[in-house]
Amino acid sequence: MRLIRHGLKGEERPGIELNGERYDCSNHFEDYNRDFFQNDGLSKLQNLISESGDKLEKIDESVRWGSPVARPGMIMCVGLNYSDHAIEAGMEIPTEPILFMKATNTLSGPFDDVPLPKDSIKTDWEVELGIVIGEDATYLEDKAAGEKAIVGYCVINDLSERAFQLERGGQWVKGKSCPGFSPVGPYLITKDEIADVLDLTMTLSVNDQLMQDGSSKTMIFDPAFVVHYISQYMTLEAGDIISTGTPPGVGLGMTPPLYLKKGDKMSLEISGLGKQGQTII
């Protein structure tokens, strides 16, 4: 299934995409949030599609795309989780996942403009595979339990202000939590539709110039392990998002480094998960 949300920012409603058309589901579900995933909402949505499907109200093409999930309790991120990106960054390949968080109010739609942070000179791009958690999870026993806790996947642009992240006291969260720094979507694709999550092409272009051209196959810690690992240290809640790292090609890794400026247009895609794009304002 392809879950979507639509409407003005802060007023998004749940929906689905079927055969290239968006349909509204807000008469049947409040939102794609913790309550929805924790209380078998996905099965109820599947039944709705089977029974009503294209009889639902169609969404006009002009209506804004929102993040496909509501504001989560947590946006957890895994740093340096691609071997070729770690090499690009000149850092050792991690032996355990490097974890950090982004503020949840950074969540934005897949085509929303991104404001350049005040005093920023080093805003960077990162195409990432996002995991959406389908059940509350603490102290999961193994990778199989981690896999069971995943409801689906999405595209994320893990925007980063590198000076804030690396030059202002050692905590990455400052460089990751600027307004609009987590475009998510356009879809939440349920995991049954992904044949091999470790064989997805990941690309990102800036002003039509290809910057990132990688694959999830170079991921060091796979999604099931990441979910199991994180659950040993904190509770993951249904609807939470995990951003799993980026392949090489970020601005920081270029010689000389290249960063985003007003008017730049990003476009990014993960095979099977859809495309998104943003303009820097």
Confidence bin at 53 (pLDDT 50/70/90): confident
A 10 A CB-CB count for 64 gives 16
1-12 mean pLDDT: 98
Residues pairing with 242 in the sheet:
76, 131
State residue 224's pLDDT score. 98
Determine how β-strand 21-24 pairs with β-strand 160-161: unpaired
Q: Integer distance in angstroms from the first to the last C-alpha of the chain?
A: 33
Q: What is the pLDDT of residues 10-42, one digit of tens each?
A: 999 999 999 999 999 999 999 999 999 999 999
Instruction: Using pLDDT thresholds of 50, 70 and 90, give the confidence band for residue 62.
Output: very high
pLDDT in tens, 163-203: 999 998 877 899 999 999 999 999 999 999 999 999 999 99
pLDDT for the residue 21: 96
Query: Which pLDDT belongs to residue 185?
Result: 97
Q: Is 265 helix (H, G, I), strand (E, B) or coil?
A: strand
| Residues 124/158, Cβ–Cβ less than 8 Å | no
Architecture of domain 70-279 in this structure: Alpha-Beta Complex (3.90)
Cα separation, 136 vs 31, in Å, equals 17
Task: Give the pLDDT score at 40.
Answer: 94
Domain-wise residue ranges, the chain: 2-65, 70-279
**Which tens digit of pLDDT belongs to each residue from 63-100?**
999 999 999 999 999 998 998 777 777 778 889 999 99
